[in-house]
Amino acid sequence: MNCRHCAASLSHTFLDLGFAPPSNAYLTVADLAKPEKYFPLRVKVCDHCWLVQTEDHAQANELFNPDYAYFSSTSSGWLAHAEQYAAQISNELNLNADSLVIEVASNDGYLLKNFVAMRIPCFGIEPTDSTATAAEEKGIPVLREFFGEALGKQLAREGRQADLIIGNNVYAHVPDINDFTRGLKSVLKPSGTITLEFPHLMRLLEHCQFDTIYHEHYSYLSLSTVNRIFKAAGLRIWKVEELDTHGGSLRIYGCHDEDDRADHQSVAAMLQLESSRGLQQLDTYLDFQSRANKIKDDLLYFLIKQKREGKKVAAYGAAAKGNTLLNYAGVKPDLLPLVFDVAVSKQGKFMPGSHIPILAPEKVLDSQIDYLLILPWNISGEVRQQNSAIQERGTEFFIAVPELRFLGR
């Protein structure tokens, strides 16, 4: 395999999680009687441009199918984050009725609905029918396409270049990151702005967030690597912000290379921080496997101990990161019999690989649970607040990543 950006040969394995089904391939009762697709889940690091990337096995249309089950609007915290961003960016860029906003991977309209409310023209690009339909029901126009250079050039020919292009948690999901980036350049107005949000590789390394690795994520990104990718496409990153979303993310601000906006000091500062943390040194990546193994082993030890003592453990949040963790650890319903999730699209289905049933969150009140494992640890505060009733009854909440940690009764 060669690097997706610079085409250098890849010889260094960052992490091997064995074989797993796609993390968002939730199963129906009928699916349980059928063979289930598994793919190798191995991650390489390029020692030339330092892009961390999954090995090529699954095609994008096998991962992002019409029944894709991830709906952004299920998290109240994420909705608040999107609303705050929309107000901030529209003010900064003086967006109005003569502007055009495009969101790539617009999901269920969680973000663009704010621009619709402000009467700023916008449309989304979203390949999954389930989420695109939800967005259209909010009054948001959607192109049901995978985005890349060809689509970007087509939109430019049609006079649909954007003042603002948004891509939240999509940049890591594209198999051809160079083509995608050239598409951004093609559809951007001469004075337009790009903002992309993505989980920060530096935080993944720091907190051993190996459960954020799954087939739908083709790349794991640092500012230094994204800076190289942007430069190769004729774009420039002029500002960067650190966010606390998804365990630590970056929001980058991009423009055409010839744009006259000056570089913000935040770019040089983050590049220096990444360098000081060893993100361009191979040794930084080679001990990650043992750290992930310890997290897996600690969780398994705890679950087996509770089973032997007759305690009941369940999980909350049928998140993709939870599927990575449970499948790598080999957890099945005998150790973790139930998962509760607020997403109607997942309720009544089963977790891929582990086949743990997914119930509506109100069912948690009917269950006498000693311990509740919060799989989407990045929203553990939100989950605890929503389920305070069972915490008051004596259920203890805990997370497994970055370490087995109990959050109290």
Q: Is residue 242 located within the same domain as residue 153?
A: yes
Q: Is residue 362 located within the same domain as residue 394?
A: yes
> Does residue 388 sit within a domain?
yes
d(CA 337, CA 312): 9
The values of phi and psi at residue 335, to 5°, are -100, -30
> Does residue 373 sit within a domain?
yes
Q: Is residue 150 located within the same domain as residue 278?
A: yes
Its pTM stands at: 0.89
> Does residue 68 sit within a domain?
no
> Does residue 57 sit within a domain?
no
> Does residue 319 sit within a domain?
yes
Q: Look at residues 117, 110, 111, 103 and name the one whose alpha carbon lies nearest to residue 86.
A: 111
pLDDT given at position 182: 98
Tell which of 285, 300, 325 closes a domain: 285
Rounded mean pLDDT, 18-28 = 93
CATH number assigned to the domain comprising residue 340: 3.40.50.720
> Does residue 67 sit within a domain?
no
Q: Is residue 341 located within the same domain as residue 249?
A: no
pLDDT given at position 59: 58
The values of phi and psi at residue 7, to 5°, are 70, 10
Q: Which residue has the higher pLDDT, 236 or 361?
A: 236
Examine the pLDDT at 393 and tell me if it is beyond 90.
Answer: no
d(CA 313, CA 340): 12
133-165 in b/e burial notation, b at 16+ Cβ within 10 A? ebbbebebebbeebbbbebbeebbeeeebbbbb
pLDDT by residue (tens digit) across 104-147? Answer: 999 999 999 999 999 999 999 999 898 999 999 999 999 999 99
160 within 8 A of 100, measured Cβ to Cβ: yes
Show the domain range for 152: 146-285
Q: Is residue 248 located within the same domain as residue 298?
A: no
| The pair of three-digit structure tokens given for residue 13, joined into one six-digit string | 């394995």
Q: Look at residues 190, 182, 184 and name the one whose alpha carbon lies nearest to residue 233.
A: 182
Tell which of 285, 317, 341 closes a domain: 285
Rounded mean pLDDT, 302-328 = 96
Q: Which residue has the higher pLDDT, 193 or 23?
A: 193
Lowest mean pLDDT among 98-102, 232-236, 332-336, 392-396: 392-396
pLDDT given at position 247: 85
d(CA 116, CA 122): 7
pLDDT given at position 367: 78
CATH number assigned to the domain comprising residue 179: 3.40.50.150
Q: Is residue 152 located within the same domain as residue 192?
A: yes
Tell which of 238, 268, 285 closes a domain: 285
> Does residue 278 sit within a domain?
yes
Total domains present in the chain:
2
Q: Positive or negative CA dihedral for 4, 172, 43, 228?
A: positive
